[in-house]
Structure formats: structure tokens, C-alpha cells
Amino acid sequence: MDQVFKALADETRRRLLDRLHEHNGQTLGELCERIDMRRQSVTQHLAVLEAASLVSTVRRGREKLHYLNPVPLHEIQERWIDKFERPRLRALGAVKRRAEEAMTDKPAFVYVTYIASTPEKVWDALTDADLTAAYWGHSNVSDWQPGSRWAHVRTDGSGVEDVIGTVVESERPTRLVTTWGSPEPDKEGQGDTYSRVTFDIERHDAIVRLTVTHEDLPDEAARDEVSFGWPAVLSNLKSLLETGSTLPQEPWLTPRR
């Protein structure tokens, strides 16, 4: 937490976070233009922000894209704001990340969280029907083999599937890629357009770094929904794995397609 406050204490680093909040997923060159500063100086500031987990990066070809990571801000909110003001995720919603898809291969939404657990337990928490029911309010049901169907099923006994898709990649316990879509046809009566969700699970010292990439979203409204939904879902997953209990569930805990 000290690293977060140190990073936020510098005006230039706050401006970099503002630029990423306005336009997420920028390269170093793009940030230099918007900040009007030399590359070496911006690189040093970004290193401080990344060390504080306020910025995360994703490689796309030769480019390195920078994304605002709201997890440390959420933790500040929980410790110093939520005890005085509710609802607990309002401040997190205020710093949600918007992905501006200037390039076709740029992820629409990237979220990084750190969990005191093991890669195997994180994988199981994403794929086990009972565990997902506990923190997500839906059961993720599949045999999790590449090419298999998967479904996000309500836990009220109705058997209703709110999201369906296909398992694209399945490499326990490090990587899971699935498509996401609605079981209902679109307004024109055609098949639904599927988005794509990638879970990358990595050891990070004694803990786990979980990166969720949600791409191929249909429009800005969908990006806004997943920007609000994913942090809530993953905070609940983190709470379950670290404390054995979940946060109060809300109806918006399912990120939309």
C-alpha cells in the first residue's frame, strides 16, 4: 500500500493514470505524446506505477500496451472510504477502465488482480460448478476440454443459462480461453455475436497474478458493463479464496457478453 501512495503522490504519475482512464491500452509513444515528456522519463514513471500495480501491461506483437489497474484503488476504497460511505463499489465504478479499440487486435478490457492462493486453486475457482455458484451466483458448467460447450447457469434451480460459449483453450492451471454469448437470438433473429474471455494464471512470488482479458465486445455499452462486472466478480473470488467467505452478492455480478 505504501508503494501505491508513493506513486499517487507525484503529479506526473497521476496525469498518466488520468490519460489511461480517458483512453486505456496506450503504447509508450502514445503516452509520451499526451504527456509531452521524453520517453525515458515516462518509462521511469510507468515503472513506478507498475511496481505499485496501478498499471498493468499486455504485449501485442512488438507493442506493449498499458492499462489502468483499479485493484489498488479499490483496496484503498475498502480500507478508508467504504467504512464511511456506501455502496462499497461506487468509487471503483468511477475509475472503471474504458478500452478504445483503435486497433483490431487491442483487448477491449484487461483486469489484473493478485490472490493469495495457488494457480490450481484459482483454476478450480473459475471452472468448478459449486465454487462458481458460491461467489458468482452462477455455476460454470463444462468438461473444460477444447471445443466443448460451456454454460453460465443460474443457481435458483431453474436451469436457465444466461451465457453460453465454447472452450477455445484449456491448459490447467495456467490458461483458459472461452467464447461468451447469449443463448437468445439477436433482434434480427440471427445467431449471437460472441465475445472472447481469456484467463491467464501466473505465479507471482508467493501469490497468484490473475489477468482477465475480455475482447471482441460488440459496443461501448458492453465495454461499460464488463468494466463494472468483472471487478465485482473477481473481488468476490479473491475474498473466497483468501478468507473462505464471499462478499454480499449483487445482481450485477455476471459480466455481460
Report all structural domains of the chain as residue ranges with CATH numbers, in order of start: 2-102 (1.10.10.10), 110-243 (3.30.530.20)
Distance CA 211, CA 177 (A): 12
pLDDT at 239 over 50: yes
Q: Express each pLDDT in 167-208 by its tens digit.
A: 999 999 999 999 999 987 654 444 457 999 999 999 988 899
pLDDT over 70 percentage in the chain: 80
pTM confidence score: 0.61
pLDDT in tens, 116-127: 999 999 999 999
What's the rounded Cα separation, in Å, for the pair 242 and 125? Answer: 12
pLDDT of residue 248: 63
In the chain, DSSP finds a helix count (H) and a strand count (E) of 9, 9
Q: What is the pLDDT of residue 25?
A: 87
At 251, the pLDDT band (50, 70, 90 cuts) reads very low
Give the three-class secondary structure for 113: strand
Residues 35, 13: Cα–Cα separation, whole Å: 10
Residue with cell 483499479: 70
108-166 pLDDT, tens digit each: 788 889 999 999 999 999 999 999 999 998 999 999 999 999 999 999 999 999 999 99
Residue 67 CA to residue 26 CA, distance in Å, equals 7
Say if CB 227 and CB 97 are below 8 A apart. yes
Whether the CB-CB separation of 112 and 210 falls below 8 Å is answered with yes
pLDDT over threshold 80, residue 38: yes
Indicate left, alpha or beta for 241 from its phi (over 0: left) and psi (-120 to 50: alpha): alpha
Is residue 83's pLDDT more than 70? no
Contacts of 237 (CB under 8 A, 6+ apart): 115, 122, 125, 126, 135, 136
pLDDT of amino acid 103: 44
Q: If you search the block for the grid coordinates 484503498, which residue do you land on? A: 76
* 3-16 pLDDT per residue, tens: 888 888 999 999 99
Given a cut of 70, whether residue 91 has pLDDT beyond it is no
